[in-house]
Amino acid sequence: MKRILLFLATNIAILIVLSITLRILGVDSLFVQGGGLNLTALLIFAAVFGMGGAFISLAISKWSAKMATGAKVIVQPSDAVESWLINTVSQQARAAGIGMPEVAIYDSPTMNAFATGMNRNNALVAVSTGLLHQMDEGEVEAVLAHEISHVANGDMITLALIQGVVNTFVIFFARIVGNFVDRVIFKNENGPGIGYYITSIIAEIIFSVLASVIVMWFSRKREFEADAGSAKLVGANKMIAALQRLQTGQQESLPSQLRAFGISGAREGADWKQLFMSHPPLEDRIQALRRTSR
């Protein structure tokens, strides 16, 4: 589950790099002419590059996650724990109707796990050494089932589609704001000037952060569904036990750009901060499982 924030960060970076490159190539001048905007051309441009940025992020998500965490894929099990991990993921993948994911372990003292990949039949599931050391077998099994459920539900594909739509509007409105500032503040009536370029880049960053509220809402919703999927695969009691175990441990030692990918996300904060949380509070998830298992 270490996927959401890395996907967002990579997506914003790609969006900004693409925007700067296209400005250098003079592409913006195609829809900013004589101080006016060709809105139809701008919308087409925004859709192509907005969706493109999201799906590039998705395409490299496995590679990005491995690089960020140092996760090592188990090619040939070297001990009983690795053999058990491979066998457990294989059984759960068959039960969920997906292809066998890559299985990896990464070094971290915290209890965490993640799944990512652009194809539900070619995904990556990784667990931390801290999770293996601090959880019992049933709890680890539940966490793995949670990640398998994310893959089976196609959450990363859906996230890419949502992010692509969000990107489209970010690019579209950022350039409208840039054009307005260029014309009204900088009094430039002869096409895109420095005011347009600087303002639209700043607006893209700001709008991207604000738009992440939508993506995070989706992420929180999918966490409940992945918990329910785990309950179906291994039983609600095991998933509840895993979440309760997470309540007793630390989950904050991940790099800031990766914290939202953990099985539990960040600790609760102020109400406004919860808008940017990728995970619901652990207690809410436990109560949801208890209600559905009655």
Residue ranges covered by each domain of the chain: 71-152
Buried b (16+ CB within 10 A) or exposed e, 27-65: ebeebbeebebeeeebbebbbebbbebbbbbbeebbebb
pLDDT of residue 2: 47
Q: Which of 147, 189, 204, 225 is catalytic?
A: 147
pLDDT of residue 254: 46
Give pTM, 2 decimals.
0.80
Tokens in use for 144? 């793995």
pLDDT of residue 255: 47
Respond yes or no: is residue 223 known to be catalytic.
Answer: no
Cα(234)–Cα(230) distance, integer angstroms: 6
**CATH class for the domain made up of 71-152:** alpha beta
Question: Which residues of the chain have a pLDDT value below 70?
Answer: 1-12, 14-15, 22-23, 25-26, 33-35, 250-273, 294
287 Cβ contact partners less than 8 Å away, ≥ 6 residues apart: none
Strand (E) or helix (H) holding 218: helix 194-234
